[in-house]
Structure 1
Amino acid sequence: MSNALFPDLTVNGEPVPQAVIAAEAQHHYAPKDKPGIAWRKAANAVAMRSLLLQEARRRGLTPKAQEIGPGRFETEEEALIRGLLDQAIRVEAPSKDAIRAEYDRDPGRFRAPPLWEVSHILIACDPRDPESREKAEVRACELADKALQAPNRFTQLASETSDCRSRATGGVLGQLCPGDTVPEFEAALHKLSEGEVTARPVLTRHGWHVIRMDALAEGAVLPFEAVKPRIADALERTAWARAAREFVATLIEQADITGADLSRPI
Structure 2
Amino acid sequence: MNTALFPDLVVNGETVPHTVVAAEAQNHTGPSDKPGIAWRKAANAVAIRTLLLQEAQQRGLEADPAEVGPGRFETEEEALIRGLLDTEMDGAAPDEEAIRTEWDRDPERFRAPPLWEVSHILCSCDPRDEAATAKAKACIEGLAAKVQANPRAFAHIATDNSDCGSKSSGGALGQLGPGDTVPEFEDALRGLKAGEITAEPVLTRHGWHLIRMDAVAEGAVLPYETARPRISDAIQKTNWARQAQAFVNKLVASAEITGADLRRE
**What is the TM-score normalised by the length of structure 1?**
0.90
Q: Is the 8 A contact 1:89 1:244 kept in 2?
A: yes
Whichever residue aligns with residue 153 of structure 1, its letter is: A
Equivalent residue of 2:263, what SS? coil
CA distance 1:218–1:83, shift in 2 (3 Å): same
**Aligned residue in 1 for 2:204:** 204
Are positions 1:93 and 2:93 aligned together?
A: yes
**Aligned residue in 2 for 1:218:** 218
Equivalent residue of 1:263, what SS? helix
The C-alpha deviation readout for 1:105-125, integer Å capped at 9, x for no partner, is: 222222222222211111111
CA distance 1:103–1:148, shift in 2 (3 Å): farther
**Aligned residue in 2 for 1:179:** 179
Aligned length: 265
Structure-2 separation of matches of 1:191 and 1:146 = 22
* Aligned-residue offset at 1:30: 5.1
Q: Is the 8 A contact 1:145 1:199 kept in 2?
A: no
CA distance 1:215–1:70, shift in 2 (3 Å): closer
**Where do residues 17-36 of structure 1 align in structure 2 (5 Å cutoff)?**
17-29=17-29, 34-36=34-36
Structure-2 separation of matches of 1:186 and 1:26 = 26
Q: Is the 8 A contact 2:56 2:84 kept in 1?
A: yes
**Where do residues 2-81 of structure 1 align in structure 2 (5 Å cutoff)?**
2-29=2-29, 34-81=34-81
* Aligned-residue offset at 1:226: 0.8
Structure-2 separation of matches of 1:31 and 1:217 = 40
* Aligned-residue offset at 1:24: 3.6
**Aligned residue in 2 for 1:117:** 117
Structure-1 separation of matches of 2:114 and 2:28 = 37
Whichever residue aligns with residue 100 of structure 2, its letter is: R
Structure-2 separation of matches of 1:207 and 1:220 = 33
Q: Is the 8 A contact 1:148 1:197 kept in 2?
A: no
**Aligned residue in 2 for 1:231:** 231
* Aligned-residue offset at 1:31: 5.5
Q: Is the 8 A contact 2:63 2:77 kept in 1?
A: no
**What is the TM-score normalised by the length of structure 2?**
0.90
CA distance 1:100–1:62, shift in 2 (3 Å): same
**Where do residues 251-262 of structure 1 align in structure 2 (5 Å cutoff)?**
251-262=251-262
CA distance 1:32–1:199, shift in 2 (3 Å): closer
* Aligned-residue offset at 1:192: 0.9
Deviates more, 1:108-117 or 1:251-260: 108-117
Q: Is the 8 A contact 1:43 1:259 kept in 2?
A: yes
**Aligned residue in 2 for 1:128:** 128
% same residue: 65
